[in-house]
Structures are given as structure tokens and as C-alpha cells.
Amino acid sequence: MSEICPAAVIILAAGEGRRMKSGTPKVLHTLCGRSMLGHVLGAAASLRPGRLIVVVGQGRAEVTAHVAEQAPGACVVVQPRQEGTGNAVRTALEAVGQIHGVVVVTYGDTPLLRSQTLADLVAVHYAAGNAVTALTARVPDPTGYGRIVLDSRGVFSEIVEEADATPEQRAIDEINSGVYAFDGDLLADAVKRVATDNVKGEEYLTDVVAILHADGHRAGFVRAADPAEVEGVNDRVQLARARRLYNDRVLERWMLAGVTIVDPATTWIDADVTLERDVEIGPGSQLRGRTVIEAGALIGPGCLLADTTVAANAAVTHSVCVSARIGAGASVGPFADLGPGSEVPGSEGAQSA
């Protein structure tokens, strides 16, 4: 399918995140060198939307500052009271005005969601002429998720939150991710009609599906190939799981590109690290920030490198290097501690540190 750029992406990032038990807003907790919100902003920006909108609430000052740093062109909208996802989207549309075209809604606490999955959602939505297209997943244990409900004709008709579901509906294993593509004009009308007659007394964005279906509009869904992509992060246990899964992706990408990683289970590489072919990473190594490792270099075992450049064919073992530069063919360690601004000449000069 040809690329379709949505008119807008709305990122919901207003949640309190009480289960994180932290003074840091939930969406600013990090994995692989970026905040959760940073990962989501990157995936959203890859769609090249006409507008990028972030809805903030709890910790709004910190989150707003982070958005300004990561995505300077984004529009930040404040949701004064956290009264549900439908309320958040309605607040965004009331602040920025009606949006014509495809509107994607996603979340600031879903850092594993790939940009390609969002692009596929938009493409299917556009090609099918849907009023709404939901991103779903099939999972062995759907506990805690809204369920995708089909009508008597087998047509997607509504999403039922678990707290409001019947026993039969709770048995459904097709779950709602909370990520959607909407027709912007229809969304603006439907979200105003969302009621609060549910267990939590909130405005559910999920109700927009039933409203549009009742109005005779077409609803569809796209199933994520990997259910892990749609997992939200609500506590530190889930954050650790997301961090491991994301790191595994990073390691796989580099190994397929020609990098040797001796022990993936003990190797951590941030998202913005750059590696060249025939680099070898030994066990127990961490590469952070914007570290660059050039071709043929040997890192580890037992290294921590942050924002450090290692030139071709150099070797670093059992060392900590922060904002350092290591020349081609140089040998560093064991047990070197290179601080910011440190430089180790290449093999034609002094070779060890």
C-alpha cells in the first residue's frame, strides 16, 4: 500500500501513573535511552502527520518540557481532570479545532508499538474507507483489556471494557489496544456523544466505535502481528519487561547488520547507539546514549560506554568511558575510567590507558 500521512496524531499522556510509585511522571520513565513518551513521539513522527498533539495532565510541566525538547513542533493540550480517554480526545479537539482527514490516537505508555504497525493501521483504514479502525491483538490471557465484539453478522460493532463485560464477552481473546485511526470529522461529532454510564463513570473513547456503528458507519480492525507491541506500562515490573523486549529488538537488528554480540542476555544497547560491521560486544557490556563504535572494534567484556566514540579496530575491556574519544587501533583497559573530554590516541601514538 502507498504511504498515507494522517492529518493528526493525538498522543494521550495525561495519566497519573500511581502504580509506578514515583515522583517522575509515568511517561517519562526510560527504556533503552529514551523515555516511553520519546519512543511514542518517534513512532508518531515517522507517520509525518500534519499535526502532532500531546494531551498532558499529571506532571504537566515536566511532560510539556520533555515534549518541547523531543518534538518542538508538537501541540500540547492540558486535560484538567482525568475523566477518561474519550474526555482526553474531546479536550484535544476542542482545543485545536476540528481535524479533517485521518486522526490516529495512541498512548504515551506504549513504547513497544512500532512505527510500521501504525503505518499499516493508517493504510488499512484509508483503503477500507472506515470511520474507525482499531488496532487489536489476540492474547492467551485477555484479563484487563477491552474486548472486540462482533454483531450477529460478524461485523465489528463495539468494544466492551472488562469491568462492563458479560461472562461471554470476557471469554473473547481479541483485545483492544486503545490505538485507533478515525475519520476526523466523524470523530469530532461522535466523541461529544460519549456517555458516562459505566462502572468508572468516565468517558470511554471505546464507546465511539459503537456510536459510529449505530450511525451506520463502517468500523474495522487491524491485528498486531506481535501482541507485545500493544502492551501498556503501568508499573515497574511491566517497565522492566518492556525494557527487555525493546533491548532484544535492538540487539537483533545489530546482529543482523553484522555485529557480533557474544552474550545477548547480559548486553544492553540504547536506541541511539551506532555500530558498524564486524564490531564485537563482549558479555556484561552496556552502550548508552549516542555512543558510536566503528568497524572492527572490540568492546568488553564488562564495559560501560556512554556518549563515547570508539574508532575502528580499537579494543576496550573492563572499563567505564563517558563522553570520551578512543582512537583507531587503541587499547583501553582493563579497569580504565575515562571521563568527559578524555581522548586516547590511535595506534600510531600512545595505545593504552
Looking at the chain, the whole-number percentage of residues with pLDDT higher than 70 is: 97
pLDDT by residue (tens digit) across 150-194? 888 888 888 888 888 999 999 999 999 999 999 999 999 999 999
For residue 121, what pLDDT band results from cuts at 50, 70 and 90? very high
For residue 129, what pLDDT band results from cuts at 50, 70 and 90? very high
Q: Which residues are catalytic?
A: 19
Mean pLDDT of 82-101: 94
Give the pLDDT confidence score for residue 105 in this predicted structure. Answer: 98
Phi-psi region of 107 (alpha: psi -120 to 50; beta: other; left: phi over 0): beta
Give the pLDDT confidence score for residue 203 in this predicted structure. Answer: 93
Average pLDDT, the chain: 93
Grid cell 472488562 — which residue? 162
pLDDT by residue (tens digit) across 14-37? 988 889 999 999 999 999 999 999
Give the pLDDT confidence score for residue 2 in this predicted structure. Answer: 46
Q: What distance lies between CA 294 and its chain's CA centroid?
A: 28
Tally the C-alpha atoms within 13 A of residue 331's C-alpha that lie toward its C-beta. Answer: 3
| Residue 69 reports pLDDT greater than 60 | yes
CB 75 within 8 A of CB 64: no
Give per-residue burial for 304-328: e unless 16+ CB within 10 Å, then b.
Answer: bbbbbbbbbbbbbbbbbbbbbbbbb
| More confident position, 316 or 201 | 316
CB 274 within 8 A of CB 293: yes
| Residue 348 reports pLDDT greater than 70 | no
Mean pLDDT of 44-56: 97
Assign 178 to helix, strand or coil.
Answer: strand
Assigned superfamily of 8-230: Spore Coat Polysaccharide Biosynthesis Protein SpsA; Chain A (3.90.550.10)
Give the pLDDT confidence score for residue 350 in this predicted structure. Answer: 44
CB 273 within 8 A of CB 288: yes
Give the pLDDT confidence score for residue 353 in this predicted structure. Answer: 55
**Within a 10 A sphere around the Cβ of 228, how many other Cβ atoms?**
16
Q: Which three cell numbers stand for residue 221?
A: 480492525
Report the DSSP pairing between strands 315-316 and 298-299.
parallel
Separation in Å, CA 95 to CA 25, 48, 66, 312:
23, 21, 20, 52
pLDDT by residue (tens digit) across 168-177? 999 999 999 9
| Within this chain, domains 8-230 and 257-344 share the same CATH topology | no
Query: For residue 15, which of 83, 69, 114 has the smallest C-alpha distance?
Result: 83
Q: Where are the domains of the chain?
A: 8-230, 257-344
Grid cell 482527514 — which residue? 101
Q: What global pTM score does this model have?
A: 0.92
pLDDT by residue (tens digit) across 323-343? 999 999 999 989 999 999 999
The answer to whether domain 257-344 has CATH 3.40.190.10 is: no
Give the pLDDT confidence score for residue 155 in this predicted structure. Answer: 83
pLDDT by residue (tens digit) across 198-212? 878 899 998 999 899
Angle at 64 between CA 250 and CA 117, to 5 degrees: 35
pLDDT by residue (tens digit) across 230-279? 999 999 999 999 999 999 999 999 999 999 999 999 999 999 999 999 99
Grid cell 493501521 — which residue? 121
